[in-house]
Amino acid sequence: MAGRGRLACQRTRLSRLRYNWRTATAHLCATCPRLARFINDFGNERLWVRGDQDVFRALARAIAYQQLSGAAAGTIHGRFEALFTDQRPDARQTLALGSVALRQTGLSRAKTLALLDLAQRVHDGKLPGARQLSRLDDDTLIQRLSAVRGVGPWTVQMYLLFTLGRPDIMPATDLGVQKGVQQIYALAQKPTPAQVLERTGKLAPYRSAAAWYFWRAADNA
């Protein structure tokens, strides 16, 4: 479960998407009347991406948000950030802090181990930098970053969607997305990941925008 798309905090510098939001929403409206009604009623809010492209900070944030609501994850991640100079986590300082200090922020044992593994890989130069990662296609990037302990497809999808601003990401395993699909399509039951992908396939190549609206629909339910 994601933090329902709430991976950007107030102090984070936000940037415009690398694709045209109006083009994306026009495509969604033309493709899906149910989604069009929600978009038209929703107003002018839109998805923004974080301006900070640092790989460690982006993935550390996504790890902190795994399986938690936005509010709970935001609190824990805020405590994690507070451990660092200027509240900007980096791999070297994370390794120096160690597991005890990280656990005291409220991070689970599994997330602590994942953060330490991520920090070690970044420190040792075993992960590509932001510029190199930005050149990889979605599937290759998911494969490369999933080598990190505790980092699976959902975590990498959050990086693709909220940091790199990729246009066609549908995190079908995300509970918020599933609830939003249930709301938009008036389903009796929450859809499975496979059902989410089946229903949203026609929304390509702008499924990132669709996912954002599904999160909003779940929030408004």
Model pLDDT for residues 9-44, shown as the tens digit of each residue: 333 445 567 789 999 999 999 999 999 999 998 878
Q: Are residues 74 and 144 in the same domain?
A: yes
Q: Are residues 124 and 60 in the same domain?
A: yes
Q: Residue 30 burial by CB count (10 A; 0-12/13-18/19+): exposed, middle or buried?
A: exposed
Count of positions (residues) in the chain: 221
Split into its structural domains, the chain has a count of: 2
Question: pLDDT: is 11 or 171 the higher one?
Answer: 171
Q: How many CB atoms lie within 10 A of CB 153?
A: 16
- Domain hosting 117: range is 52-162
Q: Are residues 155 and 59 in the same domain?
A: yes
Q: Are residues 105 and 74 in the same domain?
A: yes
Global confidence as pTM: 0.84
Domain boundary among 162, 182, 204: 162
CATH number at residue 201: 1.10.1670.40
Q: Is residue 127 part of a domain?
A: yes
Q: Are residues 206 and 150 in the same domain?
A: no
- Tell me the average pLDDT across 91-118: 97
